[in-house]
Structure 1
Amino acid sequence: METGLMNHQGPGEVFVHPLSNPGAAGICPEMLEVAEEANRAGDYDLAVEIYSSQLQDLPQPDRGLCLRKADSLARAGRISEALESYCTAAAISKLQPHELPLLVETIAKSLREKELGIPWTIHGQSNGGTGEDGGEGVFLALEVLDLFSCRLCRCLLHDPTTLECGHTFCKRCQDERSAQDCAQCKAKAPPGPSPQRRINVVLSGLLDKLFSTESRARRLWVEGELQWKNQNLKDALDKYNAAVELGKSNAGFALRSLPTYSSVCGFQAITAVPHCHSKAHYLKATALTQASRTDEALQEYFLCVALKPDWTKVKLEAQKVISTSAQTLLATLILCRLFYEPVTTPCGHTFCLKCLERCLDHNPNCPLCKENLSEYLANRGYNKTLLMEEVLQRYLGDELADRKKIHEEEMKELSNLNQEVPIFVCTMAFPTIPCPLHVFEPRYRLMIRRSMETGTKQFGMCIADDLKGFADYGCMLQVRDVKFFPDGRSVVDTIGVSRFKVLSHGQRDGYNTAKIEYLEDKKVEGDELLELLKLHDAVYEQANSWFTSLRDNMKSQILSHFGQLPTKDPDPQASSSGPAWCWWLLAVLPLENRAQLTILAMTSLKDRLMAIRRVLIFVTRKRPR
């Protein structure tokens, strides 16, 4: 079996990790040879499938197979999956530097092409572009900075604050505007006094990391402006000088991070073209490594390799850093999920919309700073933070697409109203009958929200059962309207749709679920149909007579809640659940839940009519005279 290091000198040379147990039952040498041939041919997805199938047949994961699969995933550009496979191998035994060249190479390639926008080079030969020392970096930098520019001052965002509509501006620029509506989309500000704007914590941190020098320069310039307004000219001059000196180190960014002020002490922004210096990143990486700041060092090493792909020494250093902290670093990379539909709270913190909603189901405070968000919850102004959304789409497009795919799969699973139907355990519900609900428990807030998000707008209603949790029969409810209260509670207007039988009980995220089958009445013909029609008319007249004889106050209560007794159906078998008036009568008759459940479960209209007739006879005899 081949066991040499991959030199990255040609497409046919493949490093093959040795197997932990080559003779283990389930490992097929012939299939492994096919996988290696697939790698050499560039069909990395096929190699991944082979390694995955081999791993599935083993009682315990084989470290060598996990590494082979990880390398093939890395070659295929499926970095997140590759990290997971490397993590599995690291859990068996610590990763060694020589086992990670493909991971370093792939991440650096992705960083160069997607993050920096610079073509990938092999042994000094570029596949296009201007090369390391060209001016392309300036134009890329300006494009990136345009994304992070305030639409009011046209400069790099300083203390970014996100409005209710999702657009982001400098806090100072927004505070100084006389109008509080959005300057970009013209969305009106909420009524009442102007809110105290908070800094968007995630975007502020992102700016500091991506443009550390430019952010410091921008901050110094703003401080200089404040000193200038206060007539502290010497202090203003010092601030401006410091800002321009910082701008000199990266003049391309200075074009946008600092405004041009020809009238202020003779200053103008620098206009020289900067160069990307891989050596500077290497020196920084070395210092960070010595300071045990391995995650930051690794980022710098990747930038070095991205800027200079054939720098072997740096690749080896990056491999050493990964292997030294593989267990913690790789686990962190895998477990942190990418923002999806990011929203920013009034206190300036950013979360995935769904994560924030679930937190607010339990507590109206910010999950990070604990500031009360009751007003935010009441307004439900969950608009996406558009700048964060654009950053994700532009620079993490593949990862965002994967995150979206996961979300869509979850929604598809949740919208299956047979396999995993959400069950509200509360009261009896019947087809065609309104069933208003007061929702306050966190689990049911989540359940109702999901039923609306999936578009089904349906869930099951069952009564409680001491042994199983909920009864074996119930009724599907259709949401017609939802009214939210400031504290997160809601009143949900629903109506019964169809009956079902529970095949299996389950749970999901705290609420009950069930696999179900829908119930339909069995239809009859000929003499049986004639007998059924006669029985139907007779019981309807009996029901109408009973309702007419009720006291006015009782009739008023029934009418206000359930409406009028439905008219008699010309064809009582037209609906799969039978005549609507039967369910109306069951809802208003003084029956205990178990008796109602027995009638709900019947699939014979004749049996249901006879049961109703017996109940009517009983309540008529018991009525006080």
Structure 2
Amino acid sequence: MSVLNHSAEDTTEERRGYLSSLSAVDKVEHQKLILQRAETLATENSLKNAVDMFSMAFMCGSVRPEQLGSLVDCFLRNYKKIERVKLRVVTQSDCECDGEAGSNVGALFDCPGCHIFLSDPVTIACGHIYCKRCLQRNLFSKCRVCKETIKTWCGEKSILRPNVMLCSLLEKWFPDEVKRSKVNGEIEEQVKKKQFEKAAVLVNENLDSDPDNFLLKTYRAEIYAGLEQYTAAIEDLETLCVKSSNWPERYFRKGKILHDMGHMDESLQLFLQCLALDEDFAPARTEVEKILCDLLSPVPESVKKGLRETTLSSSPHLRWKTSITDAHSAGGVNDMQSSSEEKSEVPNPSEGHERSVLNQAQSLQVQNQVENLSGEEGLKRVSSATQLFGQEKGGLLKRKLSASEQDKSVVKGRNKQKKQRETDTSSCCREVPKTLLDVTDFECSLCMRLFYEPVTTPCGHTFCKNCLERCLDHTPQCPLCKESLKEYLASRKYNVTWLLEELIQKYLPEEHSERKKIHLQETVELSDLTKNVPVFVCTMAYPTVPCPLHVFEPRYRLMIRRCMETGTRQFGMCISDAQKGFVDYGCMLQIRSVHFLPDGRSVVDTIGGKRFKVLERGMRDGYFTANIAYLEDVQDEEEFRKLQELHDQVYMQACTWFQNLKNRFRGQILQHFGPMPEREEDIQATPDGPACCWWLLAVLPVDPRYQLSVLSMMSLKERLLKIQYILTYLQSIPSE
């Protein structure tokens, strides 16, 4: 019988006995099936069965923490469901104002991640800006603004380059804030190097002058934890309850400290609270995966015995692990309760008692059924055994820092917060001094005009989007510092730096409006398909015939990009002329798709459109342009019947010639130009006549000058006679 078919009543020993009878290969296959089933159950929000199935997967072999992602999501959904009342309170208070830390999203100069003044602002790939601290710590996996996966263009050196222009502006506008940010950066470096004593001195010095700086208190809590002064660390984090109750990092830091102290159940509660506020908070998700992996991992009997012998003299983590393994081996709810009673030996200042999350999760593995939660009443009910996050009389674990008490403090302090927000908002909503505003601070160093669609390179320099693209057409280097931008060029994600765009619109509205007007005028001029039409001087092109192109010259890269940006997606194609630059007749090409290569080259799929005659030649930014007039065939209704007969003769003659070609030549033609078009009923339905004529003209081995003479004809009869003459000549040549 497969492990998947074991009922919930089967004991752990029976399962282990069954698994021990399998070969190593069978165990691997069974584990894959079990993990698939466990993930399905977790996705369906069947927490009890999912935990049970993941436990069986651990019996088959090791499971990596990252494989428990679906289980973490299931835990989080249940947590949100049970705690929805508390979360609703927090969400409502968050929506009512933007004054508290963690909800000050509207401030232009605050980091979207930590909502603190931008310290060393770094532009990520999506165009939004974060402080260097948030990105260095990898606090979240997706952008808080646009929800795109965060990409920082770190490269091999993993160096985050601040936005050079924004750093200069912030230092000019807010020197005091920048000074404080530099101090925070020094503390960050000392904490990273584990120089906790030096960092503590610096933190305390700055807290004397800025006692309400909750980031400094967060640093101090981290320093205390590094010095193993956990009580002091917890006290610092507790003072942040009111001002930063909706800040996910606060819950994560507190959870980390409790985790280091060995209180795994309480740390899990806090990590889940962190994820409830921000599901993309990557470090908290990693910690939850590790805790669940530790919980579900089976412990050998020899290890259990050693844990029991050392429980009284060991760290809280060992006592926790011992209680978990004892409860797991017992397989019953009563043993789990007695285990919780043993854990209650750890001093706990909270008044209430509540079942630990991990013990409840473990008991879910052995209970027969868990009643489905429904409505508010369902939050308080349990069935034959414990319910996740439910409360029950009996031996319950004292909680060192009750998450529920923390949330109550949010509710109690709500009115107090609303009063404080009025003063907090004024200090957070910074305004740029008008005397320090200078339009030249927002000028592109390439075009020397006001930024239009400013984009920032990985090296931190900012340019107009069009200006930067033109530079990258020539060389994949930053125009200022000459650093390689090959990776940036390959991605082709030139996203606008939104903060700079907002600053220009807010503080320089007239200048921005004028710059936008100029850009629109230039776009309209480029969109005209009769005047200054871009001309690609390369090969012959014909109406309705595909013409794939490999674009590598900088001037034509610019030309193709402009055709795409203006929306015309069209340009002219002519063959070269030694005297004039290009010939007097050509064909418009319609861009169907563009595939950009990593080095900036592109493969452009085009198809022929209208024919044209060149009236006047010109040049723009290195490529040719022309004023043109479109050509149309002259309609002759009286000769229509004779013209139709001539067309049918030429078509049959062309089919015979094509079928008699060698397979190699026929295959090359089909690959490049596609099959011959079907015969048309109305040969004068379009201004350029039947498509088969242009297909034949493209594939026939004729000199381009002769082809050009046929392209310029406006008489269908003359064109058919020319093609017939060419076919007759080719058929007269004996095949080799």
| Partner in structure 2 of residue 398 of structure 1 | 510
Q: 1:536 aligns with which of 647, 653, 669?
A: 647
**In 2 relative to 1, CA 165–469 (structure 1 residues): closer, same or farther, beyond 3 Å?**
same
1:380 maps to 2:492: yes
Which residue identity does 2:527 align to in structure 1?
S
| Partner in structure 1 of residue 137 of structure 2 | 176
| Partner in structure 2 of residue 550 of structure 1 | 661
8 A contact 1:340–1:353 mirrored in 2: yes
1:586 maps to 2:697: yes
8 A contact 1:225–1:236 mirrored in 2: no
1:167 maps to 2:90: no
Which residue identity does 2:550 align to in structure 1?
H
Aligned-residue CA RMSD in angstroms?
3.8
| Partner in structure 2 of residue 624 of structure 1 | 735
Which residue identity does 1:223 align to in structure 2?
E
Query: What is the Cα deviation at residue 574 of structure 1?
Result: 0.6
Query: What is the Cα deviation at residue 559 of structure 1?
Result: 1.4
1:459 maps to 2:559: no
8 A contact 2:444–2:462 mirrored in 1: no
Tell which structure's C-alpha radius of gyration is larger: 2
8 A contact 1:166–1:383 mirrored in 2: yes
For 1:261 and 1:434, the matched residues in 2 are separated by 64
- TM-score scaled by length of structure 2: 0.54
Q: 1:303 aligns with which of 422, 427, 435?
A: 435
| Partner in structure 1 of residue 678 of structure 2 | 567
8 A contact 1:216–1:243 mirrored in 2: no
- For structure 2, the 5+ residue unaligned runs are 1-98, 222-231, 244-422
**In 2 relative to 1, CA 272–163 (structure 1 residues): closer, same or farther, beyond 3 Å?**
closer
| Partner in structure 1 of residue 316 of structure 2 | none
For 1:234 and 1:616, the matched residues in 2 are separated by 90
Alignment map for 1:174-323 (pairs within 5 Å): 174-177=135-138, 179-189=140-150, 196-224=159-187, 226-227=189-190, 230-231=194-195, 233=197, 236-238=200-202, 241=205, 303=435
Deviations 1:253-283 (Å, cap 9, x if unpaired)? x9889766797899999x89999xxxxxxxx
Q: 2:628 aligns with which of 489, 495, 516?
A: 516
Q: 1:339 aligns with which of 407, 432, 451?
A: 451
**In 2 relative to 1, CA 591–144 (structure 1 residues): closer, same or farther, beyond 3 Å?**
same
Deviations 1:443-468 (Å, cap 9, x if unpaired)? 00000000000111000000000011
| Partner in structure 1 of residue 57 of structure 2 | none
1:365 maps to 2:497: no
Which residue identity does 1:602 align to in structure 2?
M
Query: What is the Cα deviation at residue 236 of structure 1?
Result: 4.7
**In 2 relative to 1, CA 450–262 (structure 1 residues): closer, same or farther, beyond 3 Å?**
closer
**In 2 relative to 1, CA 562–227 (structure 1 residues): closer, same or farther, beyond 3 Å?**
closer
Query: What is the Cα deviation at residue 432 of structure 1?
Result: 0.4
Query: What is the Cα deviation at residue 182 of structure 1?
Result: 2.1
1:156 maps to 2:117: yes
For 2:731 and 2:191, the matched residues in 1 are separated by 91
**In 2 relative to 1, CA 564–228 (structure 1 residues): closer, same or farther, beyond 3 Å?**
closer
Q: Secondary structure at the match of 1:147?
A: coil
For 2:212 and 2:713, the matched residues in 1 are separated by 77
For 1:226 and 1:556, the matched residues in 2 are separated by 66
8 A contact 1:418–1:516 mirrored in 2: yes
1:413 maps to 2:374: no
For 1:206 and 1:257, the matched residues in 2 are separated by 25
8 A contact 2:200–2:220 mirrored in 1: no
**In 2 relative to 1, CA 166–334 (structure 1 residues): closer, same or farther, beyond 3 Å?**
closer
**In 2 relative to 1, CA 183–453 (structure 1 residues): closer, same or farther, beyond 3 Å?**
same
Q: Secondary structure at the match of 2:687?
A: coil
8 A contact 2:572–2:588 mirrored in 1: yes
**In 2 relative to 1, CA 192–213 (structure 1 residues): closer, same or farther, beyond 3 Å?**
closer
Deviations 1:568-604 (Å, cap 9, x if unpaired)? 2111111100110000000011111100000000001
Q: 2:536 aligns with which of 424, 427, 430?
A: 424
For 1:273 and 1:150, the matched residues in 2 are separated by 15
8 A contact 1:393–1:400 mirrored in 2: yes
8 A contact 2:203–2:220 mirrored in 1: no
Query: What is the Cα deviation at residue 426 of structure 1?
Result: 0.2
Which residue identity does 1:154 align to in structure 2?
H
Alignment map for 1:445-484 (pairs within 5 Å): 445-484=557-596
Deviations 1:277-321 (Å, cap 9, x if unpaired)? xxxxxxxxxxxxxxxxxxxxxx99x839x9xxxxxxxxxxxxxxx
1:607 maps to 2:568: no
Which residue identity does 1:619 align to in structure 2?
L
Query: What is the Cα deviation at residue 190 of structure 1?
Result: 5.4
| Partner in structure 2 of residue 441 of structure 1 | 553
8 A contact 2:534–2:626 mirrored in 1: yes
**In 2 relative to 1, CA 391–463 (structure 1 residues): closer, same or farther, beyond 3 Å?**
same
Which residue identity does 2:179 align to in structure 1?
R
For 2:547 and 2:669, the matched residues in 1 are separated by 13
Query: What is the Cα deviation at residue 189 of structure 1?
Result: 3.8
**In 2 relative to 1, CA 542–486 (structure 1 residues): closer, same or farther, beyond 3 Å?**
same
| Partner in structure 1 of residue 247 of structure 2 | none
Query: What is the Cα deviation at residue 373 of structure 1?
Result: 1.0
- For structure 1, the 5+ residue unaligned runs are 1-137, 248-253, 276-298, 307-321, 323-327
**In 2 relative to 1, CA 240–355 (structure 1 residues): closer, same or farther, beyond 3 Å?**
farther
**In 2 relative to 1, CA 457–196 (structure 1 residues): closer, same or farther, beyond 3 Å?**
same
For 1:533 and 1:623, the matched residues in 2 are separated by 30
8 A contact 2:454–2:462 mirrored in 1: yes
For 2:719 and 2:672, the matched residues in 1 are separated by 23
Which residue identity does 1:438 align to in structure 2?
H
For 2:722 and 2:543, the matched residues in 1 are separated by 17
8 A contact 1:218–1:243 mirrored in 2: no
| Partner in structure 1 of residue 403 of structure 2 | none
Q: Secondary structure at the match of 1:479?
A: strand
For 2:185 and 2:162, the matched residues in 1 are separated by 16
Number of equivalent positions: 432
For 1:453 and 1:335, the matched residues in 2 are separated by 19
Which residue identity does 2:164 align to in structure 1?
V
Q: Secondary structure at the match of 1:166?
A: coil
For 2:630 and 2:425, the matched residues in 1 are separated by 71
Query: What is the Cα deviation at residue 622 of structure 1?
Result: 2.7
- TM-score scaled by length of structure 1: 0.63
For 1:419 and 1:511, the matched residues in 2 are separated by 14
State the identity as a percent.
Answer: 52
